[in-house]
Structure formats: structure tokens, C-alpha cells
Amino acid sequence: MPPDEEKYRAPALDKGLDILELLASTDDGQTQAEIANLLGRTTPEIFRMLVVLRRRGYVELGHDDRYRLTTKMFEVAHRHPPIRRLTTIAGDAMQRLANQINQSVHMCILQSGRLLVIAQADCPDNNLNTVRLGAQIPIYDSASARVLAALMDEASLENLLRMAGERNSERRDRFLADLPRIRETGYCEGASLTIQGVTNLSAAVVDYTGKPIAAMTTPFIHRLTGPTNATVPQAREALVLTCQELSRRMGAGAAAL
């Protein structure tokens, strides 16, 4: 921290944010002792922070004595006007797309070097592959992160990679190698890196400056039966058109006028 900023430190706030960020990165929560150990803090000072966070509704204590995040952070994030506006206008469009291509659709934003699923729509078919609303997803195996990263400026991309970690890894190298092609085509299409038999299709929603604000993705499953099965090219075209329309409604192109 620069010397001139040292006098503005808020240790209690730092501890509270450290706890929230730690719990956000774990699926099954942490005990008070585990939190203190992982953060290099004493148990009493962590306990005081946890009492406040529980009272404010950000964390909850389970019967197994493990602390977990509630949905309040997710709800607070959606009060931010751009995200609130996007999820408001995207809901119907996503459902129409899911019905049209008979595939589930979800929307993600980037948050602290990971993806956060902020909206999701199921298709009418009985069998579907869906992503949980509120899920946090590592970027390197994700089509959504690729389309967002492909539209970033150099400084924003470097910041994303720093937060995501894995500075020297094959996953990171493969991620970066995919970006030029996505930047050229305007979408990401490829076999899922996490589920066999799924083709991920993803495109970005941009704001009035052309900055990517969210990615819409369908984890396309290859159905063997059904009367309304779209092909991968048909689904990709419909997805791109939906993202273009949402971008227009978010003001895309206005900066050039």
C-alpha cells in the first residue's frame, strides 16, 4: 500500500471483506477455526466479524458449525443499475431463445476473476443441461469468459488473468490462444472442456462503448430425439442475434453517433 494511503486503512473492513472473499471461493463453507487459520487471524477477531456478517445477513451458520455465504451478496450486486437493467430486459429474450433452440441458456458476468451466473432459462424439453443461478465458475474452462476476454482491452485482460491466477499453466495458455479467433468471429464455439458431448456456444452483450458486460451461453446438448431440435449453426445464429439485440437495448453503438 502506498504510504499516503496507509493512514486510510480500515482493518475491520479488511477482515470482513477477507471473510466474504474466502467463503465465496468455497462450496461447503468453513468453520470459524478454518477461517481464522486460512486468513492468518485469531479466532476471537474472526468471531466478531462473523457475528456482524451474520447479523447483516451476508453469512449463515449451519448445523455443522460451518459458515456459508447467503444470497445477499448476489442480491446486492443486482441492485447495481447496469446489471439490474440487463437482467430485467434479458429474461424474456433468454426464454424465447431457449424455447426456439430447445436448449438451456444462461448469462454470466465477471466478478473477482471468476464468472457469476446472473440469469438462467430452461428449455421446454424434459432433458436438459443447465447451470445453477448464482454459480461461480473458473474462467479458464469457460466459453463465457473467452468471449468476454476477447473484447477486453489489454489492461483489463491482464487484470482478469492476475485475479484468476495460474500464471504458468496449460489451461491459461489454451485460454489465451482461443481469443484471437473469437475476436474475429464474434462468438465462441467449441466442445465443452468439462462435460463430454456438449458444444458450448457463447456471445457477448456489450454496452454503448462496446465494452463487454455479460456473456450469454448455451451448453448445447446433442439430442437424439425430439421434434424441435435446432442444429448447432442454427442455435449459434439465434444466440448471436439475441445478444446483438440485447446490446442494442443496452445502448451499443450510441457512442459512435
Residues in the chain with pLDDT values less than 50: 1, 255-257
Q: For residue 228, what pLDDT is reported?
A: 64
Cell 443461478 belongs to 133
Q: For residue 2, what pLDDT is reported?
A: 52
Positive or negative: CA dihedral 166, 170, 176, 179:
negative
**φ, ψ dihedrals at 203, nearest 5°:** -145, 160
> What are the CA-CA distances from residue 53 to residues 31, 57, 96 (Å)?
14, 6, 39
Q: For residue 6, what pLDDT is reported?
A: 60
Q: For residue 256, what pLDDT is reported?
A: 43
Q: For residue 255, what pLDDT is reported?
A: 46
Question: pLDDT digit string (tens) for 55-103?
Answer: 999 999 988 999 998 877 766 765 666 677 788 888 899 999 999 999 9
Helix H, strand E, coil C: the string for the chain is CCHHHHCCCCHHHHHHHHHHHHHHCCCCCECHHHHHHHHCCCHHHHHHHHHHHHHCCCEEECCCCCEEECCHHHHHHCCCHHHHHHHHHHHHHHHHHHHHHCCCEEEEEEECCEEEEEEEECCCCCCCCCCCCCCEEECCCCHHHHHHHHCCCHHHHHHHHHHHCCCCCHHHHHHHHHHHHHHHHCCEEEECCCCCCEEEEEEEEECCCCCEEEEEEEEEECCCCCCCCCCHHHHHHHHHHHHHHHHHHCCCCHHHC
Question: pLDDT digit string (tens) for 149-159?
Answer: 999 989 889 98
Q: Which residues pair with 115 in a beta bridge?
A: 110, 137
Q: For residue 257, what pLDDT is reported?
A: 36
Q: For residue 197, what pLDDT is reported?
A: 87
Read off the C-alpha cell for 197.
458431448
- The domains of the chain, with CATH numbers, are 3-70 (1.10.10.10), 76-256 (3.30.450.40)
Q: For residue 77, what pLDDT is reported?
A: 64
Of 152, 161, 136, the C-alpha closest to 73 is 136
Q: For residue 27, what pLDDT is reported?
A: 72
